């Protein structure tokens, strides 16, 4: 079984993106060259911390994000190394395409999604879905 740090030679899995996947891709698209670690991405995307790890795992298996462990001395840092996630070229293309599709198919839904993404959830009729 290959480790998570070595790319799999298997063909990437086709992933159907849900709201959590879209939220994470949107956050990563905001700064595509800046990797983020799971807890930070969970806070910025408002994805539940319990869901962020499995969502990132599936995004990675589909080839939309890549990950690596930071190289630190855990004793000196006082914490274990973090796994950082970065959009792949395919992930950036798919994320932009999915957000564009969302915008075209339902402008009202995209506005709600965009409002959620910016942190303004007040007054959102479907805020409990996000």
pLDDT at 66 over 80: yes
The per-residue pLDDT of the chain, averaged, comes to: 78
Region of 95 (left: φ > 0; alpha: ψ -120 to 50; beta: rest) is alpha
For residue 90, count other CB atoms closer than 10 A to its CB: 13
The Cα diameter of the chain in Å comes to 51
Q: 59 or 103, which is more confident?
A: 59
For tokens 């007054």, what's the residue? 123
- Res 70 pLDDT > 60: yes
Domain boundaries, the chain: 19-129
pLDDT above 60 (res 120) = no
Work out the average pLDDT over 6-32: 75
Is the pLDDT confidence value at 109 over 70?
Answer: no
DSSP 8-state code for residue 84? E
Q: What is the pLDDT of residue 117?
A: 55
Query: Helix, strand, coil % (nearest 5) of the chain?
Result: 50, 10, 40
**Measured torsion, CA atoms of residues 109, 111, 116, 121, in degrees rounded to the nearest 10:** -100
**What is the distance between the alpha carbons of residues 33 and 68, in angstroms, rounded to a whole number?**
14
Please tell me which residue, 104 or 93, carries the higher pLDDT value: 93
pLDDT score recorded for residue 1:
40
In CATH, the number for domain 19-129 is 1.10.10.10
Per-residue pLDDT band for 41 (boundaries 50, 70, 90) equals very high
**Position 114 confidence tier, pLDDT thresholds 50, 70, 90:** low
Lookup result for tokens 């994805």: 47
Element (DSSP H or E) covering residue 89: helix 89-105
Neighbours of 101 (CB within 10 A): 12
- pLDDT for 19: 83
Q: Does the pLDDT of residue 128 top 60, yes or no?
A: no
Nearest to 38 by CA among 64, 80, 51: 51
């Amino acid at each position: 079984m290959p480790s998570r740090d070595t790319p799999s030679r298997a063909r990437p899995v086709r992933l159907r993106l849900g709201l959590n996947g879209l939220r994470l891709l949107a956050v990563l698209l905001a700064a595509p060259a800046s990797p983020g670690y799971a807890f930070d991405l969970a806070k910025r995307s408002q994805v539940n911390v319990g869901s962020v790890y499995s969502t990132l795992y599936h995004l990675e298996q589909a080839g939309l994000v890549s990950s690596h462990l930071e190289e630190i001395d855990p004793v000196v840092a006082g914490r274990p190394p973090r796994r950082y996630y970065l959009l792949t070229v395919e992930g950036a293309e798919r994320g932009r395409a999915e957000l564009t599709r969302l915008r075209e198919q339902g402008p009202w839904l995209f506005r709600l999604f965009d409002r959620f993404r910016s942190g303004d959830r007040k007054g959102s009729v479907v805020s409990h879905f996000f």
